[in-house]
Each structure stands twice: as structure tokens, then as C-alpha cells.
Amino acid sequence: MSEILTKELVVAAGTARTKEDAIREAGALLVASGAVAPAYVDAMLERERTVSTYMGSYLAIPHGTNESKESIKHSAVSLVRYENPIDWGRGEVRVVVGISGLNNEHLGILSKIAIIFSDPVEAQKMVDATTVDELFELLESVNAE
């Protein structure tokens, strides 16, 4: 099994300016890594239309619908950080973490991310980080068993 998060899945300066484009940007990383089929990105957008993935602390965690499970080839996490906040409807987002979880692995991944972002100091470190290496180090715990 490959790592869930690799440096190739981390972008320190995202280019999206809207929620939809940010979801596409995080999803494109998952597609490029071979973790998901392109249809999964559409499912990420569909989920967002029905349930917001805004989590607070400048974080959103878009992921696909239950119906999109067949589009997942392996579990992966993408991370895109934005210098300027993106309006997510319920709050501003600076960090978008895209998730694809094979066989319900997304639940454990979500739990690990929630632990990091529930600590205001750690959440601020993520917002303040400006390099791929810094961001990877902060979120690397998702790779631990």
C-alpha cells in the first residue's frame, strides 16, 4: 500500500478563487496521483451541493458521495493551501484537504485530520505554512497506521 499523503499531493499556493474551483483543484491532485477516476471530482462537487464540507478553523474537507466509491482506486489525501481566503458559504477557507477513502478508510483519515485542526495552534501552523515541506510535515500523521 502506498502512502496516503505524498508531497506530490500537496500544493502550497493554490490558484482557485471559488469553492467549486478549489474542490476541482484538490480533486485534480487525487486524479493525477491515480487515486481516483475523474468522475470522483464530480461526486465531490455533488456532495458539496448537498452538505457543506466546511469544518471551521479555515478548513474544508471535500470528498465524494457514497455512490462514488467505485471511482476510488486507492486511499489518498490532497492538500491545497490558499494565501487568500475562499468563501465557503459558512466561513472562510485557507486549507482544502481532498480525501478518497477505499473501504471506508476515509473515516480514519478524517479523524486524524480533525485531531490536527481541533488544536488551534496546529490549525494556525497549517494556515501559516508556505512550503510543501512544511505542509507535508504538519499533515504527515495521516500516513501512520
Encode pLDDT of 17-64 as tens digits: 999 999 999 999 999 999 999 999 999 999 999 999 999 999 999 999
Q: Which residues have a Cβ under 8 Å from the Cβ of 91 and sit 6 or more positions away?
A: 54, 56, 58
Whether 100 maps to a domain, the answer reads: yes
Q: Structurally, how many domains does the chain consist of?
A: 1
CATH number at residue 16: 3.40.930.10
Alpha carbons within 13 angstroms on the beta-carbon side of residue 84 total 6
Whether 35 maps to a domain, the answer reads: yes
Whether 69 maps to a domain, the answer reads: yes
> What is the model's pLDDT at position 145?
58
CA 52 from centre of chain: 13
> What is the model's pLDDT at position 10?
96
Please state the pTM of the whole predicted model.
Answer: 0.93
Whether 44 maps to a domain, the answer reads: yes
Q: For the segment 129-142, what is each residue's pLDDT rounded down to a tens digit?
A: 999 999 999 888 77
Euclidean distance between CA atoms 12 and 78, whole angstroms = 11
> What is the model's pLDDT at position 107?
77
Q: Is the pLDDT of residue 81 over 60?
A: yes
In the set 24, 47, 63, 94, the catalytic residue is 63
Catalytic residue status for 74: no
Query: Which structural domain, as residue segments, surrounds residue 93?
Result: 7-136
Q: For the segment 91-133, what is each residue's pLDDT rounded down to a tens digit?
A: 999 999 999 988 877 777 888 888 888 999 999 999 999 999 9
Give the closest residue to 79 by CA, choosing from 1, 35, 20, 25. 25
What is the residue type of 112?
Answer: K
